[in-house]
Amino acid sequence: MKAKLSLLALSVMALPAMANVEVSDMAFNGLIKSGTLWTKDGKGAESIRLTDMGRFRLGNENETKLDLNPSLTFEHDEGAWAHAAARFQSETRNTSDWADKSSGFVVREAYVEMGGFPGLPESVTFWAGKRYMKNRGTNILDWDYAQANGTGGGVWGIPVFDGVTFDFDVASWGRDDLEPEAGEGVNDTFIIKPRFDVSLGEGNGDAYAEFMSMKRDNSDRSPTTADDGHSVSVGWVRWGDFFGFANNGYGEVIAQYGKGLSAGSSLSKFSWGDWNYKDHESYRFLATGLVETDSWSAMPVFVYHRDNDIADKDGERTWIAAGIRPVFVVNQYVSIQTEYGYEHIDENSSNNAVKGGLHKFTIAPTLQLETGFWVRPQLRLFMTYATWDKELQNLKGKYGENGPGGNTFMNDTEGFMYGLQAEVWF
């Protein structure tokens, strides 16, 4: 009884303080993406790709994905504020309505960010929890080339010079199956991530430089497995035009370097590099953007990725991806989306000794409610054809050693797929 009275007293005491704080905004955002990917015989197909660093996604997705993002914004009457957000995500490749073994929800984000404190610059914010930290990706490849997802905290937006701000984050990232070790604790990856953002002035775009330093004890795996790593990403982006062309769109370039835990497909990411060879180094250059007019739009992408000492000493890999998604407006409600993607891989390591290319073509008549490259909801009917060199039939990549199309197109050098897909952001 005393405990109940004490809790009631605390609640009453808190009322005057809370009277100065109100919920100024409640939002519920998210993503719904679902569709089929069939072979010519009506069997379910796997996506076609050469690596786990990206895929040309139009007409090449076989998952149902649901992303729910509720958030609350609190404001104090003196100007301070707090933003609380969560992100719940479910993804499955099972086509039944009861995919209970593969479609459980995971918590991708759960954090609070605060700012507007008296005496501090308006740009300065503080945060703690689990969150995405200024990720960058390309829609055409369905791939984040700079991805900082983890649990920790930080300070953002510290003014350094005119137009230059500084962020500092500290976070952990660990696999789901990790258990505490006797006398030591859970062997998560520990990450320190400083970042600079630079405004180059009106019409000149923005630049950024991001650094990651990470450490994890991998001595139980192999004496040659990386125990630490670091990466640097330097990028530039400008909204409003495509590298000086058209009056709507954006252009972006990024150069990246990573070593150890932050090499390979984990370059500039918090995750999955804990099996990397200790001397593994990666270099990457990427250019992408969007040009959009009233009657058509196009998103191109180019990626050059180089690995040294991949998998073992002297292992080498070069991956190049280049493609474009042109979209042609028929009327307000109908557009024709197309996509061409080319990938080339040249690898000589203990994983692979292959060299060859892949071509992928897609056409997708699309229903929508209005025009625009980013406009959703969309309903798509698509056909996709891909062909690849015979030397890639036994490529060890996303699907083990079964080549670009996994078991679906094992021992083949081409594949045809068709299907339907719905996508909406809200």
Q: Report pLDDT for 218.
A: 77
Q: Which residues of the chain have pLDDT under 70?
A: 1-19, 271, 397-401
Asked, as a colleague might, if the bond just before 159 is cis with ω within 30 of 0, I would say no
Residues facing 48 on adjacent strands: none
Q: Report pLDDT for 401.
A: 65
Residue 78 and residue 228: Cα distance in Å, rounded? Answer: 45
pLDDT tens per residue, range 316-342? 999 999 999 999 999 999 999 999 999
Q: Report pLDDT for 396.
A: 82
Contact 229, 261 (CB under 8 A): yes
**C-alpha to C-alpha distances, 282 to 187, 244, 315, 319, nearest whole angstrom:** 25, 30, 12, 11
Q: Report pLDDT for 12.
A: 42
Q: Report pLDDT for 15.
A: 47
Enumerate domains of the chain plus CATH numbers: 35-425 (2.40.170.10)
Q: Report pLDDT for 5.
A: 42
Residues facing 83 on adjacent strands: 73, 113
Contact 224, 278 (CB under 8 A): yes
pTM value?
0.92
